[in-house]
Amino acid sequence: MREHASARPAVQKVALAAAALFALIGVLGFVPGITTPYGEMTFAGHHSGARLLGVFQVSVLHNLVHLLFGLVGLVTARRLAGARVFLAVGGALYLLLWLYGFAIDHDTTVNILPVNDADNWLHLFLGFGMLAAGLLLNNNLGTGTRVQAPFDRP
């Protein structure tokens, strides 16, 4: 029997929304006009001049990573445990990506994704937000049932 979407715990709703957003961003990275100047996009590396929404530096590889991350999230978030893992592990990965972007020189070959300062701030925000959501959102929040304390959760 299929579970009704509104009966899903908040952590699943947040994970599904985040995953859908990542998939959408991955697709939008390939749309001329939303990504400008589109003709300057390279497969990978810091030489890619393309910017998503004119701000976030992207490449073909960067867009594919967002798309794949979103698709993985959509699959894993269908279950409660998968939603938590997607948010918590994804948040930790984005914090590591922030550290990577913070530590490297953006104009070197080490910057293969590529990332710029705007990406770094976004990765920091996403990392903390996803990690907090995965670890702190309650099973029954928003389902009309008794809200559990974090220690009551399975």
Query: What are 91-140's pLDDT values in tens digits?
Result: 999 999 999 988 888 788 877 878 889 999 999 999 999 999 999 987 65
- Do residues 58 and 50 lie in contact, with contact meaning Cβ atoms separated by under 8 Å? yes
Query: What are 5-20's pLDDT values in tens digits?
Result: 567 889 999 999 999 9
Helices (H), the chain: 10-28, 60-76, 80-103, 117-136
Indicate the Cα dihedral angle 140, 141, 143, 144, nearest 10°: 100
| pTM, two decimal places | 0.81
